[in-house]
Amino acid sequence: MKICDLHTHTTASDGSDTPEQLVLKAKKVGLSAIAVTDHDTVCGLEEAKKTARDAGIELVPGVELSINFHKGNMHMLGYYMDTADAGFQEILKRVQGARAERNPQILALLDNLGISISMDELETLSKGGQIGRPHIARAMVEKGYVKSVSEAFDKYLKRGARAYAPKSILSPEEAIQVLRDAKGIPVLAHPFSLLTSSEKELDTIVFELKEAGLMGIECYYSEHDRAFTSVCLGLAQKYQLVVTGGSDYHGKAKPHIMLGRGRGNLVIPYDCVEALKAARAHV
Ligand code: AMP
Ligand code: ZN
Ligand code: FE
Ligand code: FE
């Protein structure tokens, strides 16, 4: 059976593999296709495309947009968009600007708590990619302020924690519209992260996103158990959404997540790629 991975990160955002390393790894572990979906940037796509062409593996161009939403943590995946589209470029610039404003805010909050990290240190860690909280967490580990990245998030960086600063400025509707205007396919990423308290609540959110033009939902995901995957598959069927799946591989930044396999039992059928391609006719 052909398998794929439609959600991965590189050094263009907060992953630890370069686009080239990631695509070669995808080939090595036997994936038939891989999507590169960096946070709020498409800077890794060119290198990924070139490597994929040379290595003989299918690359699905993607992005993962940070969304401003009242509940949990919403991310919107986009696939096959025209990355040169002016509206799309404009949105990336806006979201990247919001990130650039937020990082010093977080550092200032940490400084008040006696934790000293500089923008220079983050820039070294990020190797020129989009800087986010995972880089700040890594710097905190390296300097001995916390024992692990998850401790950094729990104590300081997660929403509501002492050094949290909000970032996203993009509404779900805007993200969906801009992706579709750029001939891309908007897909709701990892629905578990919305932290909905009932199936009904998730159903309502997905219904509203569908009304706004959502075309897919990430059902297979490293942190989705069997029951939650079924709930997502049910919603995909109910709202005629493309079923996708991904590991959210970040390399060393999330060492417990394996490319294509998540925590070990993830299987993402290549059918997901076929479905995405079929959907391109309806953007
Ligand atoms: P940012 O883009 O700066 O908002 O950071 C989002 C990234 O932080 C995502 O890639 C998540 O995987 C990661 N992240 C969010 N919460 C946690 C957590 N509790 N532990 C480790 N990583 C996290
Ligand atoms: Zn990430
Ligand atoms: Fe995400
Ligand atoms: Fe991700």
| pLDDT in the model for residue 253 | 86
Q: What's the pLDDT band for 168 if we cut at 50, 70, 90?
A: confident
Gap between the Cα atoms of 9 and 161, Å rounded:
25
Which residue puts its alpha carbon closest to atom 14 of ligand 1? 134
Probe target for ligand 1 pocket from 75, 133, 157, with the most ligand atoms within 8 Å of CB: 133
| pLDDT in the model for residue 35 | 98
Ligand 1 pocket, residue 27 CB under 6 Å: no
- Tell me the residue length of the chain: 283
Give me the sheet containing 33-36, strands edge to edge: 4-5, 33-36, 58-67, 74-79, 185-188, 216-221, 242-246
Ligand 1 pocket, residue 149 CB under 6 Å: yes
Contact status, residue 177 vs residue 207, Cβ threshold 8 Å: no
Ligand 1 pocket, residue 167 CB under 6 Å: yes
Instruction: Tell me the angle at which helices 86-112 and 172-181 cross, rounded to the nearest 10 degrees.
Output: 140
pLDDT in tens, 179-235: 999 999 999 999 999 999 999 999 999 999 999 999 999 999 999 999 999 999 999
Distance set, CA 242 to CA 69, 135, 187, 258 (Å): 22, 32, 8, 24
The upper half-sphere exposure of residue 203, i.e. CA atoms within 13 Å in the direction of its Cβ, equals: 9
Q: For residue 8, report the distance from its CA to the centre of ligand 1, in Å.
A: 13
Find the ligand nearest to 7 CA: 4
Across the chain, mean pLDDT equals 96
In sequence order, what are the residues at sequence separation of 6 or more whose Cβ sits closer than 8 angstroms to the Cβ of residue 102? 165, 166, 167
In sequence order, what are the residues at sequence separation of 6 or more whose Cβ sits closer than 8 angstroms to the Cβ of residue 56? 27
pLDDT in tens, 35-68: 999 999 999 999 999 999 999 999 999 999 999 9
Contact status, residue 77 vs residue 7, Cβ threshold 8 Å: yes
| Burial of 164 per CB tally in 10 Å (0-12, 13-18, 19+) | middle
246 phi and psi angles, rounded to 5 deg: -160, 160
pLDDT in tens, 239-278: 999 999 999 999 988 999 999 999 999 999 999 999 999 9
| Residue that is written with structure tokens 């219904």 in the block | 207
Ligand 1 pocket, residue 39 CB under 6 Å: yes
Q: For residue 55, report the distance from its CA to the centre of ligand 1, in Å.
A: 31
Q: What's the pLDDT band for 170 if we cut at 50, 70, 90?
A: very high
Gap between the Cα atoms of 15 and 252, Å rounded:
7
